[in-house]
A = this chain, B = another copy of it.
Amino acid sequence: MRRVQFHETDAAGLVHFGAFFRYMEEGEHALWRAAGLSIAPAGSEIGWPRLSASFEYHRPLRFEDEFEIRMQVTAVERSTIAYRCILSRGDESIATGRLTIICVSKRPQEPLKTISIPPDIAARFRTVPEEQKR
């Protein structure tokens, strides 16, 4: 369970729509940790820039609301990983997000270059296809 913090609200009295992308990323990194990985280990020469990110908002969140972040891998391709993020409170859907990331090599002073996902990383994720919502 995640609780809404005050700095995540805005003057409309609700959680700012941009904060949901931080919630989705928290879910992503928790998913990697659950898979025995860090998405950004110290000194790594591999990075994961975002290709696309989106949210559809169904219900507002307010200060101190508690909600659940469920992050699922929907596809692992040669260089990309796609996720679905489901934010909910009890039976209520709060918002649904999508995120696609791409694997790059990053060396100091060199441009980012797309590479294949290392097999020992790809093998760690179980894919939940789009049809199967749970």
Contacts and interface: CB of A to CB of B under 8 A. Distances in A.
Interface size class of A (residues with CB under 8 A): 35 or more
Nearest to A51: B57
A6 to B, nearest CB: 6
Copies of this subunit: 4
Interface string A5-43: 111011111101111011001100100010000111011
Interface string A86-105: 00000000000010000000
A90 to B, nearest CB: 17
A121 interface: no
Contacts of A7: 10, 16, 18, 22, 25
**Of A12, A39, A42, A47, which is in contact with the most chain B CB atoms at under 10 Å from its CB?**
A12
